[in-house]
Structure 1
Amino acid sequence: MESTVTVDPSGHRPDKRPGYGQLLRTPGAWTFLLPGFAARLPFAMLTISLVLLVQHTTGSYGVAGAVAAVAGVAMALLAPQAGKLADRFGQRAVLVPGVLLHSAAVALLTVLALTDAPLWTLFAAAVPTGASVPQIGPMVRARWAARLGDTPLAGTAAAFESVTDELTFVLGPVIATALCTGVHPAAGLAAEGALSLVGGLLFAAQRATQPEVTPRTAAGRDAGTSRSALSLAGVRVLAIAFLGIGTVFGGLQVSLTAFAEEAGHPGVNGLLYGIFAAGNTLAGIVYGVVAWSAPPQRRLLVGYAALAVTASTLWAMPSLAPLAVAGLLTGLCVAPSLITGYTLIDSLVPPGSRTEAFTWLTGAVALGQAGAVTASGALADAFGARAGFAVPLGGTVLALLVLVGLRSRLVPRTGGAGRGPVASGGTGRGIGHRTPAAVD
């Protein structure tokens, strides 16, 4: 949610971007927004559903976290490749086989867990489960970009998509926890697979709004995508920052579950995580409507420092109520860091590589979440639930140190990858396109 404002020839600087209502009246928007929301909600359900099912069948948070971590690592490694393929061959060509594979892998993993299959089979099934997670968020943003181009509504779309992402992380864990604790331990994972399948196929069916594929050069390479986006120093720095944010998501999912169970209220963990995610959503809404004057690099450092401070207080909370307040404050600090980081991609990466760049950041969150789930689960098993909160503490502090030390890498160089007009095919959480006349 960038505060970037484009200066017109008269030098006029708009006071605010167009509203959400105007954005949602964009012709054809609802045809991909509704199925897209249904298809991206499972992303927020997968980890907690895996943890609750495997913990129920094995009795160990450590094992449950490790299985979820394998799925997260597989997604982190394969998501950027899916983004590249979607740029080259089209979203439908990648999405349809992807959701079919994902639903089948989820079903297999569920059966293996319920039948007390050997642990190695759970880890094996977690690989295709994570690798096939549909990358709906970047695909939705690509559709906005294709329809809006370099217009003021592009910034509004960036804000809207960030809020939508945070909303899924409010609803997803709450729905998954309610299903797992109130219906059956496998119900959350079953719902995740079903929503991915139905929502993904409905989304893929909306061909009219699908962006055109990236043009190919005579040499056979996609225009502007001969190098990996990860070869850019700024993308690597942002990936480390997002890795730290992933430790917050993963560490809280496991540690809140263990803390609520220790307190004798196991069903409250979904509410606790929902409060954290609600703070995230609220901050995203507010952040998106403010006309920021500070450069995004500075905003990222300030926001990330606040995140590190709030995440460092979680372990010290003595009971559920203070923990809920600390979780809310932590959530309030997550969205500004995520939004600003995603928006920085717009000036760091050439248009032909943006889908890949955004999936690297999404994958970094998943990787951080996977590692945090494993580490927090092991700590909770060995030392109690409170020890699991050391993971988001360490993850955010270390990432902040990297951000401070390498902050110069986040400033685009003249003539660098991200300079010049932004093509309408760019995508990501920060799809606010900018021209050389844009100012922060």
Structure 2
Amino acid sequence: MTQTHTSTEPSLFRLAGFPYFLIAFIARLPFAMMVVGVLTVVVSARGSLSLGGLTSAAVGLGTACFGPLLGAAADRYGQRTVLLMLAIANGTMMVVFTLVVYGDAVDGLVLLAAAGIGATAPQVSPLSRARLVTMISERMPETRRARTVSGTMAYESAADETVFVFGPFIVGILASLIAPWAPLVGAAVLTIVFVGAFALHPSGRHVAAVRGADGAAPSAVSELFRPQLVIVVIGILGVGMFFGTMLTSLTSFMADRGASEQAGLLYGVMGVGSAVLALGVAWLPVRFSLRARWLVFSGILFAGSLLLGVVDSPAMMMLALGIMGVGIGPTLVTQYSFGAARSPLGRSATVMTMLGSGIVVGQSIGAAVAGELAENVGTSAALVLPIVAAGVAFAAGLVNWVLSRTHARNVVVAA
């Protein structure tokens, strides 16, 4: 009898439907194409690598500043309205940016247009996480929610990593076969079509049931700044810093050996392992708690990063990247799971976009600082930065261990 009941319980795949996952996957591609697409077109049209780097950073800055505000708007008014406006605005901004770059506009206007691309970026990944978590919390049996959320975060993280591998690859193909402006125009079309479809999907109508008739959340804004949630943002900022510093210092490492173009291939060693292990988190036993996972996997990341202090060959670098890949994916999944579990009532999209922006900010800062250090001091100095970033993620895990214990004790006392 129990077996029959279990088999009839809805799975998340049945609740959302296959078209949802396909649309959501393609809809996040433009976001992965933006930064590299902007860099490509600026370097081609203006002949300045320096301006290209600044323009990419402006995209990241726009996303970081406006991402959480757009998440809050999606929480209040529903994702459909917000995403439809963003799909049109972002697609338009990419075309406008292309025209500005190829025109006679001053560099300041180019940077402003780039910031506009970032500010209007539809953050499909965080909003998809928020949408799926709401479905799980409101439509699935309580006994299955924790494992389903963990599996969902694992899938979403693996999907993100896959897209961020294919995004730059697509940019390269379009720029080579058509023209340097083609990736941004292509991203604009994908944004309008697939982000629009993501917005119009039936699940886009759904607003969390805990929201009032006026769209207001029952939880105060101050709850977004609770220590238990802030430490997750700091931890994910560390992961973003690691991504930015690692790729930049790795590029410098390979450039010293006359093979800078192979940096992406070596980085892929970490990316593949990270994506596979991120998916594997869904099968970890429930007794392996979230706070323990954060400590264990960020510890593996930190331990692997220490090898960067002694690497002297591409083979040894590959070994270090392989070890770090084991830690980075599961750490990210665990942090997103904590974000979902600790989101104040009615503010899940806000929290997910805060976490997504944390990665973008960390990545932008990390890449900029590592680039400066590599150019002015040397590769060995730049390779210290990923160790620092991994240390931030691990230290945040230690603080989270204490805060989780305190939070659990307070819940018991309140009960």
TM-score bracket, shorter-length normalisation:
0.7 to 0.9
Aligned to 2:26: 38
Alignment of 1:231-242 (within 5 A): 231-242=225-236
CA distance in 2, matches of 1:41, 1:371: 23
SS class of match (1:222): coil
User: Quick check: 1:251–1:369 contact (8 Å CA) kept in 2?
Assistant: yes
Aligned to 1:394: 388
Is 1:91 the counterpart of 2:79? The answer is yes
Number of corresponding residues: 402
Is 1:100 the counterpart of 2:94? The answer is no
Find the partner of 1:268 among 258, 262, 268: 262
For the structure 1 residues 188 and 276, does the alpha-carbon distance in structure 2 shift closer, same or farther, using more than 3 Å as the test?
farther
Aligned to 1:286: 280
User: Quick check: 1:297–1:407 contact (8 Å CA) kept in 2?
Assistant: yes
Q: Which moved more, 1:362-371 or 1:164-173?
A: 164-173
For the structure 1 residues 210 and 260, does the alpha-carbon distance in structure 2 shift closer, same or farther, using more than 3 Å as the test?
farther
Aligned to 1:246: 240
- Write 1 or 2 for the structure with the bigger share of helix: 2
For the structure 1 residues 235 and 34, does the alpha-carbon distance in structure 2 shift closer, same or farther, using more than 3 Å as the test?
same
Aligned to 1:72: 60
SS class of match (1:313): helix
Find the partner of 1:192 among 187, 195, 204: 187
One-letter code aligned to 2:140: D
Measured after TM superposition, the shift of residue 384 of structure 1 is: 5.1
Gaps in structure 1 of 5+ consecutive residues: 1-9, 11-16, 421-435
Aligned to 2:199: 204
Superposed CA deviations along residues 264-318 of structure 1, whole A, max 9, x for unmatched, are 4454344333332212101112222121423211221222122223234346544
For the structure 1 residues 130 and 385, does the alpha-carbon distance in structure 2 shift closer, same or farther, using more than 3 Å as the test?
farther
Measured after TM superposition, the shift of residue 184 of structure 1 is: 4.4
SS class of match (1:225): coil
Alignment of 1:284-323 (within 5 A): 284-314=278-308, 316-323=310-317
Gaps in structure 2 of 5+ consecutive residues: none
One-letter code aligned to 2:392: L
CA distance in 2, matches of 1:190, 1:137: 21
Superposed CA deviations along residues 393-422 of structure 1, whole A, max 9, x for unmatched, are 2222234334434642244636979x99xx
For the structure 1 residues 289 and 250, does the alpha-carbon distance in structure 2 shift closer, same or farther, using more than 3 Å as the test?
same
One-letter code aligned to 1:201: G
Superposed CA deviations along residues 155-206 of structure 1, whole A, max 9, x for unmatched, are 4333322322232233223333454567644444444333222210121221
User: Quick check: 1:181–1:267 contact (8 Å CA) kept in 2?
Assistant: no
Name which structure has the greater RCO, CA cutoff 8 Å, separation 6+: 1
Aligned to 2:323: 329
Superposed CA deviations along residues 312-351 of structure 1, whole A, max 9, x for unmatched, are 4346544544434433332221111111111123443333
Aligned to 1:369: 363
Pairwise CA RMSD of aligned residues?
Answer: 3.5
For the structure 1 residues 376 and 144, does the alpha-carbon distance in structure 2 shift closer, same or farther, using more than 3 Å as the test?
same
CA distance in 2, matches of 1:190, 1:311: 38
Aligned to 1:167: 162
Superposed CA deviations along residues 27-65 of structure 1, whole A, max 9, x for unmatched, are 551222111111112323333333444455566655433
SS class of match (2:122): coil
Measured after TM superposition, the shift of residue 118 of structure 1 is: 3.1
What TM-score comes out, normalization by structure 1 length?
Answer: 0.78
User: Quick check: 2:75–2:348 contact (8 Å CA) kept in 1?
Assistant: no
For the structure 1 residues 337 and 116, does the alpha-carbon distance in structure 2 shift closer, same or farther, using more than 3 Å as the test?
farther
One-letter code aligned to 1:310: G
User: Quick check: 2:219–2:346 contact (8 Å CA) kept in 1?
Assistant: yes
For the structure 1 residues 213 and 343, does the alpha-carbon distance in structure 2 shift closer, same or farther, using more than 3 Å as the test?
closer
One-letter code aligned to 2:59: A
Superposed CA deviations along residues 72-131 of structure 1, whole A, max 9, x for unmatched, are 122122111111211221111000111222122223333444457433223212221111
